[in-house]
Amino acid sequence: MFRLGQAGTLILSAALFGAAVAAPWHPDPTIRRATGIVLAALVLWIGEAAPLGVVALGIPVAATLSGVLTWTEALSAWGDPIVFLFLGTFLLARALDKHGVFDRLISLRHDRGGGDVGRLCLLVLAFSGAISSVQNNTAVTAMLLPVVVTLARKTSAPSLPLLALSYGATFGGMAAPVGTAPNFIGFAQIKQIAPQFSFLTWLTVGVPVWIGTTLIGWAVLRVARRWAPSGAAEGADEGGKAASFEVREEVHPPIGAGLDRRAGGDAGRGCAGALRLWLGAPRVLPPAA
């Protein structure tokens, strides 16, 4: 069944490409071929007939073979600074996660706040949003998901903290240009039109939007708590203190038992240094001769 679906996806993508090229819907054949490539790639991505990365790498090849772009033009976009900025945020997020910074902070804060699901939702909204403002929100969601799942299982409505993670990362991603891929693209285009537009300029609009949407999201989750399905783990006490202790042990061992505090501090300083450069700190390297 899977092979039949995979073959069907390949046939459909080829048919859409051929139809877009052959149909006289636009006088320019180059535009028709480019549209066909877009449609074929979308079908392959949605149908998962091939790994997403393989399809993505095949797009410049298809654009070159079809005459839409030259080989140099097709590959030049990979050298765009926005691509390296995007990769850099993923590397920073991976470094913070590797040394236990994410789960340590959120588990300790949950210990202090108790086991109330409303407080946990606010914590997850605020924490995931704050991290997503300086890291790619997709990476942040993936890194925080295990610890939030563990914490959510100890509450009376485990679905709400997971929704809070999704909402918080999305809201926080609007706060800064590095929060999500569309922001990268939009920021680069704005810089071309208005060179004076800076990282800080974006923050003056993005941060209030993030805070406002976070408060709205928390209010919605508090209302939704009435209808959220219950699913508290057995043994979770009403006060949440015992559960909170168990969560802390599951999420991460105590400091000194597996968490390299020095490495975690280095990762945190690296993230802070990147943020300082994004905000327009003085040049740290001499200009090229």
| Average pLDDT over all residues of the chain | 76
pLDDT at 105: 59
pLDDT of amino acid 274: 60
Q: How many helices (H) and strands (E) does the chain have?
A: 13, 0
CB atoms < 10 A from the CB of 5, how many? 12
Share of the chain above pLDDT 70, in %: 67
256: left (phi over 0), alpha (psi -120 to 50) or beta: left
* pLDDT value of residue 287: 45
CB atoms < 10 A from the CB of 106, how many?
24
Q: Which residues of the chain have pLDDT under 50?
A: 1-4, 113, 233-258, 281-289
pLDDT tens, residue by residue, 27-73: 999 999 999 999 999 999 888 888 888 898 899 999 999 999 988 88
